């Protein structure tokens, strides 16, 4: 099958985001109602971006621009050629490019899938300066496939079936984790646990409970082989955990790189301040990813994970050093309450694990199919 290959500007309008004010992190620009998307938000998103960490106020908007829902975001600095489609109207800085397809010429999802295939090429041409950067001049040297819009739509329909299932499962995962967090708040913050009416509160906690530093209830996970980014495999069988994409970074086939095979582990990114509860075998990726397990029966991993989530990680200087997190005080309940809580939330997290397994299988199946569809090897 013969397709035309064209530069991106033949497929739609493309321009850089706007952030004119200096310094860019001026607090007077933030705290309003306008979503402000950064490169880390793009990297962490899936097909659609709906979550963000910052907002602009009216002053911030005045020196920026709102991009419409449906815009393809392309990172050109820090993280090179990561892409996602805006699920909301949002602003973003000049470290992100916005692409809006021409009607009846390009399907925005097809262009995103093209980037997934061509990302390595984009990263290669971005190198050569003190900080990698993907300018339009460099990006315009890359040719994108341009089959007819009908073929693009058919390919998107096939691949989207996987992405739609992944997205629905992610929503279920979020609901399950939110249910566990609500129960934790009810029992251990509001202190409305079973039998609370008959328990005396002393210094703000039930008399048979105590407060202990995080460091006293965790133990070190043995270090294993760390996989370098250049060694990640697109078709490996063992997921690699680091701080990108909320801890699922890539894959390897090296079985001696597995950290845990059965015991669940809590993962903390001391740069991203992200906490995740991982229940499957994985290999360790980048530095700055801390692995945490409990050293006491009073703090099963689900309870420890939810306790850590209750810690305020908003102070960047404090949160980026794991040693400070270990000094935080958390509630240690009685054995009876700990067991009762775990009996309720453990099935929720087991269901989360089932959904994550399904998603990993979908991602691998989609990624095997992607290059064959995008090259025309499989006709549609």
pLDDT digits (tens, 9 = 90+) for 9-34: 999 999 999 999 998 889 999 999 99
Residues 248 and 216 in one domain: yes
Q: Are 353 and 279 in contact (CB under 8 A)?
A: yes
Q: Tell me what percent of the residues of the chain surpass a pLDDT of 70.
A: 86
Please name which of 225, 301, 299 lies closest in space to residue 267, comparing C-alpha atoms. 301
Share of the chain above pLDDT 90, in %: 49
For residue 174, give every residue at least 6 positions away whose Cβ sits within 8 Å of its Cβ, in sequence order, or none: none
Kindly report the average pLDDT of the chain as a whole number. 85
Cα–Cα distance between 154 and 135 in angstroms, integer?
Answer: 31
The DSSP secondary structure of 146-188, one letter per residue, reads E--HHHHHHHHHHHHHHHHHHHHHHHHHHHHHHHHHHHHIIII
Q: What is the mean pLDDT of residues 103-115?
A: 95
For residue 237, is it within any domain? yes
- Is 357 in the same domain as 233? yes
Rounded average pLDDT over 111-138: 69
Residues 140 and 246 in one domain: no
CA separation for the pair 193, 334 (Å, rounded): 11
Confidence check: pLDDT of 343 > 90: yes
Place of tokens 């050629």: 81
The per-residue pLDDT for 30 is 95
The residue that leads in pLDDT, 140 or 82, is 82
Which residues, at least 6 apart from 219, have a Cβ–Cβ distance to it below 8 Å?
293, 294, 295
Q: In the predicted model, what is the mean pLDDT of residues 116-128?
A: 66
Q: Which domain holds residue 343?
A: 166-362
- Asked if residue 202 and residue 98 are part of one domain, the reply reads no
Joined together, the tokens standing for residue 252 give: 């390897």
Which pLDDT score, from 0 to 100, does residue 258 have?
66
User: In terms of pLDDT, which residue wins out, 276 or 274?
Assistant: 276
Question: Which tokens hold the place of 104?
Answer: 């009846």
Same domain, 141 and 260: no
Asked if pLDDT for residue 268 goes beyond 70, the answer is yes
Residues 138 and 179 in one domain: no
pLDDT-based confidence at residue 252 (cuts at 50, 70, 90): confident
Q: For residue range 188-202, what is the model confidence (pLDDT) as tens digits? A: 999 999 999 999 999
310 backbone dihedrals φ, ψ, rounded to 5°: -80, -10
As a dihedral over the C-alpha atoms of residue 173, residue 177, residue 179, residue 181, rounded to 10 degrees, the angle is -170
Section 248-260 average pLDDT: 70
**Mean predicted confidence (pLDDT) in 319-334:** 80
Instruction: Record the tokens describing residue 292, joined without a space.
Output: 């945490």
Residue 189 DSSP class: I
pLDDT at residue number 236: 78
User: What pLDDT is stored for residue 338 in this prediction?
Assistant: 94
User: 48: which residues sit within 8 A by CB, 6+ positions away?
Assistant: 84, 85, 86, 87, 167
Q: Is 151 contained in some domain?
A: no
Least confident range from 38-47, 91-100, 269-278, 339-348: namely 269-278
Angle between helices 108-126 and 335-374 (to 10 degrees): 90
Residue-wise pLDDT for 139-185, tens only, equals 778 889 999 999 999 999 999 999 999 999 999 999 999 999 999 99
- Print the SS3 string covering 313-357: CCCHHHHCCHHHHCCCEEEECCHHHHHHHHHHHHHHHHHHHHHHH
- Is 372 contained in some domain? no
Let me know whether 220 and 134 are in one domain: no
Query: Does pLDDT of 120 surpass 70?
Result: no
pLDDT of residue 250: 74
Of the listed ranges 49-53, 308-312, 318-322, 327-331, the one predicted with least confidence: 318-322
Picking from 140, 45, 66, 155, the residue whose alpha carbon sits closest to that of residue 109 is 155
Is residue 318 pLDDT above 70, yes or no?
Answer: no
Tell me whether residue 273 is in a domain: yes
Q: How far is it, in rounded angstroms, from Cα 142 to Cα 4?
A: 13
Question: With bands split at pLDDT 50, 70 and 90, how would you rate the model's confidence at 72?
Answer: very high
Within this chain, do residues 271 and 346 fall inside the same structural domain, yes or no? yes
- The answer to whether residues 201 and 118 belong to one domain is no
- Does residue 369 sit within a domain? no
Q: Which residues contact 341 (CB under 8 A, 6 or more apart)?
A: 183, 184, 187, 193, 302, 303, 333
Beta strand residue intervals within 151-288, DSSP E: 201-202, 205-206, 210-213, 218-220, 238-241, 250-252, 265-269, 275-278, 283-284
Radius of gyration of the chain (CA): 23
Q: What is the pLDDT of residues 355-368, one digit of tens each?
A: 988 998 898 899 88
Q: What is the pTM of this model?
A: 0.79
Indicate the number of domains in the chain.
2
Is 377 part of a structural domain of the chain? no
Which has the closest alpha carbon to 64: 32, 91, 45?
A: 91
Between 372 and 1, the more confident residue is 372
Q: In the chain, what is the greatest distance between 2 CA atoms, to the nearest angstrom?
A: 77
Q: What is the model's pLDDT at position 251?
A: 78
- Please determine, for residue 70, whether its predicted confidence score (pLDDT) is greater than 90: yes
186 and 135 housed in the same domain: no
Query: Given this model, what pLDDT does residue 244 score?
Result: 58
Length in residues, the chain: 380
Is residue 97, in this structure, part of any structural domain at all? yes
Q: Does 329 lie in the same domain as 196?
A: yes
Flag whether pLDDT at 130 surpasses 50.
no
Q: Once rounded to an integer, what is the mean pLDDT over residues 239-266? A: 69
How many C-beta atoms surround the C-beta of residue 150 within 10 A? 11
Residue 373 lies in a domain: no
Residues 252 and 299 reside in one and the same domain: yes
Kind of pairing, strands 283-284 and 238-241? parallel
Residue 317 has pLDDT above 60, yes or no: no
Q: Where residue 48 sits, what CATH number does that domain have?
A: 3.90.220.20
What is the structure's pLDDT at 327?
85
């Amino acid at each position: 099958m013969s397709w035309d290959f064209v530069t991106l500007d033949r497929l739609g309008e493309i321009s850089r985001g706007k952030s004119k004010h200096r310094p860019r992190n001026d607090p007077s620009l933030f705290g309003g109602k306008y979503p402000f998307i950064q490169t880390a938000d793009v990297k962490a998103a899936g097909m659609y971006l709906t979550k963000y960490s910052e907002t602009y106020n009216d002053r911030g908007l005045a020196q920026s621009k709102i991009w419409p829902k449906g815009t393809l975001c392309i990172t050109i600095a820090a993280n090179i050629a990561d892409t996602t489609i805006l699920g909301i109207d949002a602003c973003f800085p000049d470290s992100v490019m916005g692409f809006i397809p021409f009607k009846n010429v390009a399907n925005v999802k097809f262009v995103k899938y093209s980037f997934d295939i061509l990302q390595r090429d984009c990263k290669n041409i971005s190198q050569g300066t003190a900080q990698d950067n993907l300018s339009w001049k460099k990006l315009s040297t890359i040719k994108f496939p341009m089959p007819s819009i009908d073929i693009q739509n058919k390919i998107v329909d096939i691949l989207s079936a996987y992405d739609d299932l992944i997205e629905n499962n992610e929503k279920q995962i979020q609901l399950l984790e939110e249910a566990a967090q609500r129960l934790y708040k009810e029992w251990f913050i509001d202190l409305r646990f079973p039998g609370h009416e008959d328990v005396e509160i002393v210094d703000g906690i039930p008399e048979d409970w105590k407060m202990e530093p995080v460091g006293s209830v965790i133990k070190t996970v043995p270090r294993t082989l760390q996989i370098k980014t250049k060694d990640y495999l697109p078709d490996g069988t063992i997921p690699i955990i680091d701080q990108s994409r909320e801890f699922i970074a890539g894959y390897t086939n090296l079985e001696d790189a597995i950290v845990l095979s059965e015991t669940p582990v809590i993962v903390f990114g001391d740069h991203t301040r992200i906490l995740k509860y991982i229940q499957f075998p994985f290999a360790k990726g980048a530095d700055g990813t801390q692995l945490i397990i409990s050293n006491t029966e009073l703090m099963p991993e689900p309870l420890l994970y939810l306790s850590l989530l209750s810690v305020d990680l908003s102070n960047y200087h404090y949160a980026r050093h794991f040693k400070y997190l270990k000094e935080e005080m958390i509630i240690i309940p009685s054995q009876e309450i700990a067991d009762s809580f775990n009996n309720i939330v453990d099935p929720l997290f087991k269901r989360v694990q089932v959904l994550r397994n399904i998603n990993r299988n979908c991602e691998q199946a989609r990624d095997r199919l992607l290059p064959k569809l995008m090259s025309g090897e499989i006709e549609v």
